[in-house]
Amino acid sequence: MKPFEWLGSAVSSVPIAVETNKGTNLTGLAVMFANVAIIIGAGVSLIGLTYSFVIYVTSGGDPKSVQRAQRAATWSILGFVVSLAAWGIKTVLVNLLNVNQLY
């Protein structure tokens, strides 16, 4: 018996694990890359927004720190909006190309 032979039978019984060929063609790889990039972009934006909130709270009323926090919040919100727009564009392209089975 091979070391992980039991794992193959356990995984093959799960339907979603059997249908993992979504990244085997160019379109599937592009959709996977877009999904990862959008998630990372949105996550970084939310972390930046949290950072700007911490800067604002700890500024103590210093005008330069408040301005820095406002700039950071503006860019973070802009980054989040760009991530949402990228998700929308990806969804429209996937629907136009009729490759809905890649989700």
Give domain status of residue 19, yes or no: no
Asked whether residue 89 is assigned to any structural domain, the reply reads yes
Contact 42, 83 (CB under 8 A): yes
- Confidence at 5, pLDDT banded by 50, 70, 90: low
Q: Is 60 helix (H, G, I), strand (E, B) or coil?
A: coil
- Domain annotation covers residue 12: no
Domains identified in the chain, total number: 1
Average pLDDT along the chain: 80
Q: Which two tokens stand for residue 85?
A: 């727009």
Expressed as residue numbers, the domain containing 66 is: 25-96
16 has a pLDDT exceeding 50: no
56 lies in some domain: yes
In a domain, 102, yes or no: no
% of the chain exceeding 70 in pLDDT: 73
Q: Is residue 55 part of a domain?
A: yes
pLDDT at residue number 18:
40
Considering the chain, what percentage of its residues have pLDDT values greater than 90?
48
10 is a domain residue: no
